[in-house]
Amino acid sequence: MTMMETAKAPVMKARIAGLLYLLVIAGGLFAEAGVRQQLIVGGDPAATAQNILDNQSLFRVGFAVNLAYLLCNIPFAALFYAIFSPASRMIALMAALLVVATTAIEAVNLFHHVDALDLLVSANLSGFTPEQLQQMSYASLDAFGTGFAVSLVFFGVACILYGWLILQSGFTPRLIGLLMAIGGVCYLINSFAMFLAPDLASAMFPYILLPSLVGEASFALWLTIMGVDRKRWTNAAAAV
């Protein structure tokens, strides 16, 4: 590989990582805001069940999109490690492992999403009343929400590490690193509020997550369009 090809390699990896990150963000927004929040009626299992039954195709598409964007997480984590390891191999590895842990938790948690529909349409549950099935389906969605909050604890820490690596390396604008770190803190506040003070969490949502969206979207767009600073990356890689 020539010196010019070596200099271009991190930029290309960054752009691929950015595109994958944009797919994750778009998929997450669709699955959560475009599907679950549109169908779930807070505190009303019957209305929620009817919405799911009336929109089964949308509910299934939400599941499929959720699963698809989780698959994007793995190559993104590998590319992020490859790009930012010159700044700190240990921190970059920790961030990558946290993303893998987040993905694993979310993937297992998706069983609760699909169970919410299966409970309503399964012919093997004829011994239960419609009201009981509605309650069980709603409880499954509640469990999904809790599992998602658990996954965001891991991802929140990953975002803080992303921010630290960006600030430390200067491969991308340091303002983006600050936004990513703030976004990670917001994820942690949101999740722990759900565990410790549900009423407070309800009052803060979704505003508490807006900094996270701004930070992640800025980072993903910068990687996709601009890549990384070649000179800084090359110097850091040479130093390592």
pLDDT number for residue 137: 95
What is the tens place of the pLDDT at every residue in 129-155? 889 999 999 999 999 999 999 999 999
Structural tokens at position 9: 């390699």
Average pLDDT, the chain: 92
Structural tokens at position 176: 């983006």
pLDDT number for residue 237: 79
Question: How many domains is the chain partitioned into structurally?
Answer: 1
What is the tens place of the pLDDT at every residue in 172-218? 999 999 999 999 999 999 999 999 999 999 999 889 999 999 999 99
Three-state DSSP state, 40: coil
- Determine the structural domain holding residue 199 and report its residue range: 3-239
Radius of gyration of the chain (CA): 20
Cβ atoms of 58 and 113 within 8 Å: the answer is: no
Exposed, middle or buried, 221 (CB in 10 Å: 0-12/13-18/19+)?
middle
The sign of the torsion formed by the CA atoms of 42, 44, 45, 48 equals negative
pTM of the entire predicted model? 0.90
Q: What angle do CA 71, 223, 75 make, to 5 degrees?
A: 20
Whole-number Å distance between alpha carbons of 143 and 29: 19
What is the tens place of the pLDDT at every residue in 211-220? 999 999 999 9
Whole-number Å distance between alpha carbons of 51 and 122: 17
Three-state DSSP state, 32: helix
